Structure 1
């Protein structure tokens, strides 16, 4: 900035006013400063500027994987919000590198980031991620981690699960099995709680509904559907409630492989509303959670925290049930 000021024959404060648009500068002086910036190829030190302004120049994003479209949609929302402030996003994907989250957290700390958006794949908070929160805000997405008072943006999983289960029950199903997510994850706990509330409201014993625990991946949906549907035709479930779309798609694949018709023999629902869910046959009935919006709001909340403002971006985002073709009445009208 001193070089620019000297070349433009102005003070350093005038250069700062022009670059930050933070004060009045006469047009002729402004043009001299901009000419000097171009001639000298001056590039502002964004880290120093962010420290002075208490704003962000670089943030981190930690996601378990990107093969799951849900995580990719969250990442798009993060990038969209960051682009509104010309903020750089440093992406860390532990599953892609084979390195634990701890290693990535240490890397992020070494980059002196202004904040981190964090999606937990385990339902736990690595010590090094917690350490990052001492140096800048850490905003959780799609999870809340008990015992840690960190700001979070998530969807109303409990309500969404309750509503999609109610739809299945309204079709007449009573022999139902749940293919749930990892027990340690808040999202899986909330969705199971929502299913159970719908069962209780329909006069069913929630504890009497079998729950098979998956890992949110397609293969586990296929394997657990095989377990759930292994009994005699007249005794096996007529509906499977899957805690995410990937497991539901795996369940549909299993049914096709053994000649079980969806929804004629068994109804299947998911949760997420991934783009692929409307493209498979049958089209999947599911719960839409606003993945892109959650990523966007997480970054806007991070900006608010950096600027010491109360954020309206935190909290639960709404869900909506998407009724498609994978749910019908139980076979023969029997429940």
Structure 2
């Protein structure tokens, strides 16, 4: 509508009166607006019209894994913001119902959904899929970005948080370190790996003493990688695991218990996300807290502004993360001398 107003040389309200037939407009001005509409190929946004008319909007929230409490916290934030707008939120779980994400693009095109909030899963989002979704309707991403594609995205400072987590471990004297990164397709996984690497470089940790593996953000992958890396004598195994999310860290903790290894006496563990269970396990998990509910609220607020025809607020700056120190990390003083 702003483009039409600029082309026709009239105010935004004049364009609204013409396309919505909601107010008187002089014949010459109306003709200029209609000419601009035809020239630019403008079609009214039915979702925005419903919001302005106080009709109920329906937005989709795509989450990759219902077992991850981080996604549940984001969903709470989305729901809180939607309640303020009296909008409906439809939970979309492609993996749970074995439907491709393209299915939700079709829902957008059919206007059964007015917009989408998208949290990418383990495979991430390709540029072609992002384009397909964006062509279908308004989309806001959470905890992910795509290079070369301008779409609103709400993220936290994954890089800084990961660096702080690794520095905490290294400052205690750990040099035999295992890093479990997230799926390589994800921008957030890349950012956290950059943060881990910056900390290792800052502490001049020899590369031969660092083991890097890639997990899928689930408990089982953390346990499986721990099973691989904790074989052999104590003097050769990692004394600390730095994980890209809490679920994989909990998987490492689970396997350590199965082996009879003490945490943090034998193995230190740090995670990322600070999901609610992180402080309930024994020992409490040292992790990086990111504001999941706030991320959900901000994403929903951004989407509603887009649906209402407004400009998108700047959400490019990452939200702050905080290192939460609990009991799963300690100095490696006794690790090398223990045997199991």
**Which TM-score bucket, shorter chain as reference?**
0.7 to 0.9
In 2, Cα distance between equivalents of 1:286 and 1:48: 41
Provide the residue aligned with 1:58 in structure 2.
58
- Deviations along 1:98-124, one digit per CA (max 9) or x if unpaired, are 222222332343234332111111212
Provide the residue aligned with 1:8 in structure 2.
none
| Cα distance change, pair 150–48 in 1 and its aligned pair in 2 (3 A) | closer
Provide the residue aligned with 2:189 in structure 1.
188
| Cα distance change, pair 50–225 in 1 and its aligned pair in 2 (3 A) | same
Deviation at 1:51, TM superposition (A): 6.5
Aligned residues of 1:188 and 1:243 also touching (Cα < 8 A): yes
- Deviations along 1:6-29, one digit per CA (max 9) or x if unpaired, are xxxxxxxxxxxxxxxxxxxxxxxx
Provide the residue aligned with 1:201 in structure 2.
202
- Deviations along 1:287-331, one digit per CA (max 9) or x if unpaired, are 001111111101111223343234144431110001000000104
In 2, Cα distance between equivalents of 1:214 and 1:221: 7
Number of matched pairs: 291
* Equivalent residue runs for 1:159-170 within 5 Å: 159-170=160-171
Deviation at 1:129, TM superposition (A): 5.0
Provide the residue aligned with 1:97 in structure 2.
97
* Equivalent residue runs for 1:207-222 within 5 Å: 209-222=210-223
Provide the residue aligned with 2:113 in structure 1.
113
Provide the residue aligned with 1:9 in structure 2.
none
Structure 1: tracts of 5 or more residues without a match = 1-45
In 2, Cα distance between equivalents of 1:145 and 1:322: 29
Bigger shift: 146-155 or 288-297?
146-155
| Cα distance change, pair 232–112 in 1 and its aligned pair in 2 (3 A) | same
| Cα distance change, pair 305–111 in 1 and its aligned pair in 2 (3 A) | closer
SS for the counterpart of 1:139 is strand
Deviation at 1:84, TM superposition (A): 1.0
In 2, Cα distance between equivalents of 1:51 and 1:211: 49
Aligned residues of 2:108 and 2:114 also touching (Cα < 8 A): no
Q: CA RMSD of the aligned region, Å?
A: 2.4
Aligned residues of 1:298 and 1:314 also touching (Cα < 8 A): no
Bigger shift: 176-185 or 56-65?
56-65
In 1, Cα distance between equivalents of 2:48 and 2:216: 43
SS for the counterpart of 1:155 is coil
- Deviations along 1:152-193, one digit per CA (max 9) or x if unpaired, are 001100000000100001111011010111111111111111
- Deviations along 1:27-66, one digit per CA (max 9) or x if unpaired, are xxxxxxxxxxxxxxxxxxx958426569982222111121
In 2, Cα distance between equivalents of 1:82 and 1:310: 17
1:137 aligns with 2:133: no
Aligned residues of 2:263 and 2:269 also touching (Cα < 8 A): yes
Provide the residue aligned with 1:82 in structure 2.
82
TM-score (norm 2): 0.79
Structure 2: tracts of 5 or more residues without a match = 1-45
SS for the counterpart of 1:317 is coil
Partner residue of 1:320 out of 298, 319, 322: 322
Deviation at 1:88, TM superposition (A): 1.4
TM-score (norm 1): 0.80
In 2, Cα distance between equivalents of 1:55 and 1:317: 32
